[in-house]
């Protein structure tokens, strides 16, 4: 992982942690809300299913009670007239109080030999078109004689021998044998016309009517049978009349004839467009309920529609998720802003600290330098003052002055003045180098000759210190250099070799090839520790104690700057206690134009080390 990304993650760890926690909490809250919604939906669905099934059961029970009541009408009289039946059914207010029922009728039980008399009787009662249908000889007949209300649909059923049709026959047999109301399986009612665009499935409920009190055995019942009170139902009209909540809008209902939901035995389906489905991820809510309808089992299948799930649910979930994400984002941004603010403050304070340290260090260096500089300047000044006082005293003495002593005093004065002027020159050079005002005056020179002449100037000093300085310059080395600056370089290196050379011989070597000149100053003195070798070329940098060796720590700094200004390089090879060799490489052609005009840097890049 890139280090920037790593440090970004580390810095914002708190913000990311808060985001993670926020996301987790949002996730948990969302899943909790979803589970809660799901449970509520399931409860709502179960309540709707329970309500729907109960309404249907109650309605069917009411029909059966009503049919049993109608049977009472027949049981109480030997003969029920058409008008009487009409008046009775009218009093029931069928369509208002029992929606879904197609009518109430009575089918008379006939033997073949009773058939003609029956038809004649009905003709005489005012229905001249009455006939028994379908035609044909059968051992028993149940002819529809009454069916109220006598609307167009119901009139079509008059005279229909329901026993001729196996499904109806089966229900009637059951009613006959049990003496109880019996519902038929699915039938197409004779009331359905060809014009009905969507013919509905139907069923009938039969209640047996006996002559006299109800017989105890099936055989006795068959012998005493007068007929059946019955009611035909159209399933669509029946279910629509129930109007339980959500029905047909959010919940679908399929009713099957039988104890199982078996294809091909549908009594009713509220679905128009294929199977009901639930949204992705939702378990489809479906529930089966079995009812007993006049001795026949019905299976009710309730299925939730998509609209059932969408009702008021997605809003809650969206609010929880949206709110959670918003709070998480805000938390993340706030913590990140806080962290960034703190980091910026820390960075600013660190920078402030660094600047303060730098400023303090600079002040310390300046103070040190001032005290060293004052000391360095005072030393030659004091001895100059002493010499002058000595000279003055000699002049005031009676008699002619001792010329030799005076000359020696004057020499010493001159040396101290030279030392002072060198010190001042060094300080000026540093100032010039810092401000980039160093100018070079290049001229053709022979390096060996310049070196010999310069070393010659150290003769007195070297002799006084008992040091032998040799110059080895086997071949002349010509180049274009600035004489004054070259002398400065040589002066600094040779005087350092004498100063730190412990009185041992100093060798100066001059070599050259076609491109560059090589100048080496080698002593056998105190040497330099490796950790100091790089630093001593810096401004005010020293590797010795000022108690043992005087100096401003500027000589090598200036030397390094001058060598670079001449387009060359300087390096040192040294070990503590084994002496040092300073090597200067100078291009023969002098520096490029750019180097001449270049600003001298305030701090040098580290020189090469060997
Ligand atoms: P100064 O001699 O005034 O201290 P320089 O810049 O000339 O300043 O030298 C910097 C430091 O380098 C010296 O203080 C000394 O520690 C070290 N140094 C320079 N030349 C030599 C040498 N020939 N042998 C050992 N140490 C040296």
Three state DSSP letters for 432-446 = HHHHCCCCCCEEEEE
Which residue puts its alpha carbon closest to atom 7 of ligand 1?
555
Q: How far apart are the C-alpha atoms of 513 and 409, rounded to whole Å? A: 46
The residues near 141 (Cβ < 8 Å, ≥ 6 apart) are 109, 110, 111, 112, 115, 132, 161, 163, 164
Which DSSP string corresponds to 143-176?
EEEEEES--HHHHTTTTBBGGGSHHHHHHHHHHH
Mutate to test the pocket of ligand 1, among 380, 556, 570, 572 (most ligand atoms within 8 A of CB): 556
Q: Whose CA is nearest to atom 17 of ligand 1?
A: 543
Q: Which residue has the tokens 């399931």?
A: 42
The secondary element (H helix, E strand) that includes residue 521 is: strand 516-522
Cα–Cα distance list, 544 to 503, 533, 602 (Å): 17, 12, 23
Residue 46, number of CB atoms within 10 A of its CB = 13
Instruction: Give 260-322 as a DSSP string.
Output: S--TT-EEEE--SSSS----TTPPPPEEEEEEEETTEEEEEEEEE-HHHHHTTSHHHHHHHHH
If you measure from the C-alpha of residue 556 to the centroid of ligand 1, how many angstroms do you get, rounded to a whole number? Answer: 7
Pocket residue to mutate for ligand 1, from 536, 581, 609, most atoms within 8 A of Cβ = 536
| pLDDT value at residue 245 | 65
* Chain length of the chain: 610
Q: Give residue 610's pLDDT.
A: 40
- In this prediction, residue 107 carries a pLDDT of 96
Q: How far apart are the C-alpha atoms of 510 and 517, rounded to whole Å? A: 7
Helix (H, G, I), strand (E, B) or coil at 117: helix
Please identify, by atom number, the ligand 1 atom nearest to the C-alpha of residue 552.
Answer: 3
pLDDT of 603 reads 47
- 536 CA to middle of ligand 1, Å? 7
Closest CA to 436 of 192, 600, 606: 600
| pLDDT computed for residue 481 by the predictor | 94
Nearest ligand 1 atom to the CA of 544 is 16
pLDDT at residue number 602: 42
pLDDT score at 598: 40
Is the previous residue joined to 149 through a cis bond, with omega within 30 degrees of 0?
yes
Determine the number of helices (DSSP H) and then strands (DSSP E) in the chain: 18, 17
Please state, as a whole number, how many other Cβ atoms lie within 10 Å of the Cβ of residue 10: 9
For residue 553, give the ligand 1 atom closest to its CA: 8
The CA angle 295-299-303, to the nearest 5 degrees, is 155
pLDDT digits (tens, 9 = 90+) for 578-593: 999 999 999 999 887 5
Ligand 1 center to 553 CA (angstroms): 7
In this predicted structure, what is the pLDDT of residue 313?
Answer: 61
Q: CA 193 to CA 287: how far, in whole Å?
A: 34
Q: Which of 372, 422, 539, 542 to mutate to test the pocket of ligand 1 (most atoms within 8 A of CB)?
A: 542
What local confidence, expressed as pLDDT, does residue 573 receive? 95
> What pLDDT does residue 256 have?
92
Protein residues whose CB sits closer than 6 Å to any atom of ligand 1: 492, 496-497, 500, 523, 525-528, 536, 542-544, 551-557, 580
Secondary structure (DSSP) of 33-94? HHHHHHHHHHHHHHHHHHHHHHHHHHHHHHHHHHHHHHHHHHHT-S---HHHHHHHHHHHTH
Whole-number Å distance, alpha carbon 384 to ligand 1 midpoint, is 25
Structure tokens that stand for 77 in this block: 């009289």
For residues 449 and 387, what is the distance between their CA atoms, to the nearest angstrom?
A: 35
Residue of 499, 500, 546 with the most ligand 1 atoms within 8 Å of its CB, for mutation: 500
Distance from residue 197's CA to the centre of ligand 1 (Å): 120
The per-residue pLDDT for 311 is 58
**Joined tokens for residue 131:** 């006939």
What pLDDT was estimated at residue 312? Answer: 59
pLDDT at 310: 66
Number of neighbouring beta carbons within 10 Å of residue 585: 17
The segments of the chain whose pLDDT lies below 70 read 1, 193-197, 244-246, 248, 272-283, 310-314, 593-610
Provide the β-strand partners of residue 182: 206
């Amino acid at each position: 992982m890139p280090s920037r990304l790593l440090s970004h993650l580390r810095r914002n760890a708190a913000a990311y942690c808060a985001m993670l926690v926020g996301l987790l909490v949002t996730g948990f809250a969302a899943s909790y809300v979803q589970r809660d919604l799901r449970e509520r939906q399931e409860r709502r669905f179960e309540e709707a299913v329970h309500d729907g099934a109960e309404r249907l059961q109650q309605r069917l029970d009411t029909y059966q009670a009503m049919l049993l009541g109608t049977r009472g009408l027949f049981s109480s009289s030997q003969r029920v007239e058409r008008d009487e039946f009409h008046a009775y059914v009218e009093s029931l207010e069928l369509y208002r109080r029992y929606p879904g029922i197609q009518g109430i009728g009575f089918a008379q039980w006939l033997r073949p030999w009773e058939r003609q008399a029956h038809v004649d009787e009905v003709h005489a009662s005012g229905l001249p078109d009455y006939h028994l249908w379908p035609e044909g000889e059968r051992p028993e007949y149940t002819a529809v004689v009454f069916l109220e209300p006598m609307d167009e649909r119901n009139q079509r059923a008059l005279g229909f021998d329901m026993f001729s049709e196996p499904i109806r026959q089966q229900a009637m047999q059951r009613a006959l044998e049990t003496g109880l109301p019996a519902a038929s399986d699915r039938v197409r009612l004779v009331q359905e016309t060809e014009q009905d665009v969507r013919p509905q499935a139907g069923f009938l409920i039969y209640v047996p009517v006996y002559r006299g009190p109800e017989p105890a055995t099936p055989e006795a019942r068959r012998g005493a049978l007068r007929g059946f009170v019955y009611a035909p139902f159209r399933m669509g009209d029946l279910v629509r009349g129930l109007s339980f909540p959500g029905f047909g809008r959010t919940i679908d209902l399929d009713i099957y004839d039988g104890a199982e939901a078996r294809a091909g035995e549908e009594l009713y389906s509220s679905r128009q467009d294929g199977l009901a489905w639930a949204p992705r991820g939702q378990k489809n809510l479906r529930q089966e309920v079995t009812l007993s309808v006049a001795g026949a089992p019905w299976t009710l299948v309730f299925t939730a529609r998509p609209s059932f799930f969408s009702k008021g649910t997605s809003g809650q979930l969206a609010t929880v998720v949206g709110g959670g994400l918003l709070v998480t984002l805000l938390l993340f941004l706030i913590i990140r802003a806080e962290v960034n603010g703190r980091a910026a403050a820390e960075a600013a304070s660190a920078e402030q600290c660094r600047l303060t340290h730098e400023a303090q260090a600079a002040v310390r260096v300046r103070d040190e330098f001032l005290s060293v500089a004052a000391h360095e300047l005072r030393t030659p000044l004091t001895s100059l003052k002493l010499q002058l006082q000595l000279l003055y005293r000699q002049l005031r003495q009676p008699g002619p002055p001792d010329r030799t002593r005076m000359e020696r005093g004057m020499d010493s004065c001159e040396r101290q003045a030279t030392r002072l002027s060198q010190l001042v020159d060094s300080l000026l050079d540093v100032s010039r180098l810092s401000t980039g005002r160093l100018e070079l005056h290049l001229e053709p020179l022979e390096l060996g000759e310049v070196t010999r002449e310069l070393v010659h100037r150290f003769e007195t000093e070297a002799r006084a210190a008992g040091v032998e300085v040799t110059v080895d310059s086997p071949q002349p080395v010509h180049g274009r250099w600035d004489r004054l600056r070259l002398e400065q370089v040589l002066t600094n290196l040779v005087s350092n070799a004498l100063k730190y050379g412990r009185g041992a011989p100093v060798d100066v070597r001059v070599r050259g090839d076609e491109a560059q000149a090589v100048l080496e100053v080698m002593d056998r003195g105190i040497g330099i520790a490796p950790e100091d070798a790089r630093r001593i070329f810096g401004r005010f940098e020293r590797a010795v104690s000022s108690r043992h060796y005087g100096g401003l720590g500027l000589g090598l700094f200036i030397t390094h700057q001058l060598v670079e200004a001449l387009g060359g390089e300087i390096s040192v090879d040294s070990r503590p206690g084994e002496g040092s060799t300073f090597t200067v490489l100078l291009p023969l052609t002098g520096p490029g134009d750019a180097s001449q005009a270049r600003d001298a840097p305030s701090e040098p890049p580290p020189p090469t080390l060997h």
